[in-house]
Structures are given as C-alpha cells and as structure tokens.
A and B are shown apart, each in its own frame.
Chain A
Amino acid sequence: MATDNKPAVSIKDMIKKDRILNSGHRMCAGCAAPVVIKLMGMALRGPTIVCNNTGCLEVATTIYPYTAWNLPWIHVAFENAAAVASGVIEATKVMHKKGRFDYEHIDVVALGGDGASFDIGFGAISGAMERGHDMVYMCYDNGAYQNTGIQRSGATFPGQETTTSWAGSVIPGKLERKKPLAEIIAAHKIPYVATAEPSNYRDFITKFRKALEVEGPAFVHAFSPCPRGWRSATGESIALSKLAVETGLHPLYEVINGEEWIMSSASKNLKELKPVDEYFKTQGQFKHLFKPEWEDFRKRIQEQVNHDWELLKKKCGVD
C-alpha cells in the first residue's frame, strides 16, 4: 500500500491511489457498496486493517479461494466486527510496545451492513464506542437484509416492501420508522459521527478521512443503494443515493463530540426538500404506496420526513 498522506478527492489523484477492493468481486451489478468501499479507500492515510461483519459485502468479496481485498481483512461473524476491531486495536498497541508489531499506529475500520449495524450488532457497536477504541465503524446501509433475501431491518423505511414486511391488502409494507442510528451513536458522545453517501463523493472522502483522524471512535453512516432489493434500475444507484439526500430521507451531517451538529452543504444548500414521492417512484419496493388506499399513509411518511428535517435543521443551526 502506498502511504499517501492526503485523501484523494480529484480524479487525477484518485486514479493513482492504490485500490483497496479489486475487480472480480461478486457484488450484484449496480450495487453501490463497492463504490462506498472505493471512496473509503480514497480517504485512507496509511496501514489499515478491516474487520467486516457478515453481509453482502463480506460474502461477495471473499468467495474462497478468491478475495477482492488488498488490505489485511478479517470476518468472524454477523454481529461482532466492532468487538473484533476492539481486539485488533488493543492487540496492535500492546504488541508494538513489546516489539512484536511494527506499526505504532494502525487504522482499524469495522464494516457492517444495516442489519449488522442497526440490529444484530448494535450492542457490540455501542460497547466499542463507549470503550473509546480508536476505530472507524462504517455502516453501509442498503435498507434491508439484502444478503439473506431482502428482509426488513431497523434501517428499512416506512412503506418499504421487503420479504418480511410485505405490502398486502391490509398492510402497506413496513409500518415503523427508521431507527436514527447515527443520532444514537452520536449520543455516545464520541468524537465524530457523520452521514455520507457516494453521490457526494468529495464530502464522503473528506468525512471518512476526518473519521480516521480523530482520536477515539468515529462512526460513518453511508447510504448504499441496492438495485436487486429495491427493484430499481442498476444504472440509477448513484442517482438514487443523491435523491435520498434531496428528499431528506438520508440527510448529510456531522456531529462532533455528540454536541456540535453540522449540516453538510449538500443538505444545507437545499432550498426545500423534494417530495418523497419522487424517491418512491423510482423503486419497485414502494410502488404499492401509490394505490389510493395508501394515500394517507404516504402523506404521513412525508410529514414525518418534514418533521425530522426541521428538527435536524434546528440541531444544526440552519434556518
């Protein structure tokens, strides 16, 4: 690995930076997760170890005997990457002191999908953040358990149809709201929390680099469209990610020490939110919402998004 000390945000620098994830991985066509990982690679500053929860990314990038990873990488289970990363970090520090590990500091990144992060591995993340290990935990959020075949998670939007939140004649898909994970992690008062997504790639890279640079734990919530699960066009993934920001479904912000809330320019510069309908129309998983009987339900989702948006603006001091 080159140890280029600047994050690569211009195309000319990007193409020179070592790639951390090779071609030949078996993520679905149009999946945004490899793009998220590519952008993470652009932010790296030196030797890095990756701890990956079970999920699409883990499975499809390391089908034996092939690995797409060019970094030291470990997967143990679905829910424990934050705990595994805790062990990696503390071991490297002690072993360095004892002369058995060459690097005084190593960046450790834990990765998990929304199932691993919002649900099953939530406790492990909370514990790792509370203990203050110097790691970046990044959740790539594709809105459901896509790896096991599109089941609802704590990250699934209300109204979203999954194979465990079907849109039927009496229920319009998932009824519950999305867990505000980034806010919950920010409440741990850790040095840095950010939401990000690939369409605003400079913003993404800059945030990920900040996450690496703070001393102590950092958390990045990256939105990651999934054409297979969402029933969207494979070419639209990055555009959908952008639309999620523009509709307020995935607003971009940073939280410093759990106290200072900063709205990122892509969100801050929006004159007003686009209607969530525009987002819903692009995906098969929301098409039932346009039936007349779910008109009110759809409106309530819009109201909730508007409400959350105003709250966020207030926290960020944005008029």
Chain B
Amino acid sequence: MSEKYNEIPMAGNIIEPGNSLKYKTGGWRAERPIHTDETCLWIKNGTCGRCWIYCPDNAVVLTEKNGKYAYAYNYDYCKGCGICANECPTDSIKMEKE
C-alpha cells in the first residue's frame, strides 16, 4: 500500500488476474469443517462432490491421482460457513468451534 501514483496501473486497473489469492479469508472462520474419509462418496468412488460445488470460497480441494481420490480443505480461505457440512449427503463433514 506504499506505491506512489505512478507506480500503479492507470485508473484502478488490476492487471494480475485472480490475485485475491493473496488475501486470506480464513481468519473470518468461527467454526471449521472436519471431514471424515470413511463415508465420503468422493473418496469412495469419485462421485458426489456437493461440498466442492457449493463451497463459495473454493476451500474444498478434491483431487484424483491414479484412480485414488483425496480430500482436503484450504483453511486459508474457508470462512466456516458450513454449507459443505449441511449439503453432505452422508454426514461426512462436521463443524467444530475454532
């Protein structure tokens, strides 16, 4: 925030797309989602994904490697809204106080 007028692009243009990644919103969280692999359909067979689809903050990280499915949260951005827990059809996500 120390840039002078001539050290920033013209007119407020932000020339680096998606640079909001530098702004961490994890600190907003009052509750954190805790995920259990055992009952998760993504882990089981790579289906469902409702938590990923409905996460407003892209904080659910689903990955697939050699037919194996992994699940993680990016707590840098998770605001703790609890949509993932609410939408999980198998109750694999619980919200816990921070």
Contact = CB atoms under 8 A, between A and B. Distances in A.
Contacts of A236: 86
B83 A11 contact: no
A227 B80 CA distance: 13
Interface stretch (A28-36, A182-190, A250-258, A301-309): A28-36
Contact of A30 (B52, B62, B81): B81
Contacts of A70: 17-18
A71 B14 CA distance: 12
Contact of A15 (B14, B24, B49): B49
A38 interface: yes
Contact of A34 (B8, B14, B46, B56): B56
A24 B23 contact: yes
A291 interface: no
Chain B: interface secondary structure? loop
A2 interface: no
Contacts of B37: none
A30 B18 contact: no
Contacts of B76: 23
A164 interface: no
A64 B14 contact: yes
A201 B53 contact: yes
A68 interface: yes
Interface in B27-54: 28-29, 42, 46-49, 52-54
Nearest to A65: B14
| B: contact size bracket | 35 or more
Interface in A111-151: none
Given A29-B79, A66-B23, A234-B81, A15 B56 contact: no
A235 B95 contact: yes
Interface in A25-81: 25-35, 38-39, 61-71
B65 interface: no
B57 A23 contact: yes
B90 interface: no
Interface string A189-213: 0000000001001000000000000
B18 A234 contact: no
B20 A23 contact: yes
A29 to B, nearest CB: 4
B86 A67 contact: no
A233 interface: yes
A22 interface: yes
Given A11-B49, A12-B64, A35-B53, A239 B87 contact: yes
Interface of A: 11-12, 14-15, 19, 21-35, 38-39, 61-71, 198, 201, 227, 233-239
Interface of B: 8, 12, 14, 16-25, 28-29, 42, 46-49, 52-59, 62-64, 74, 76-77, 79-83, 85-87, 95
16 contacts: A11-B46, A11-B48, A24-B20, A25-B25, A25-B57, A32-B56, A39-B53, A65-B14, A67-B16, A67-B19, A67-B20, A70-B17, A234-B81, A235-B95, A238-B83, A239-B86
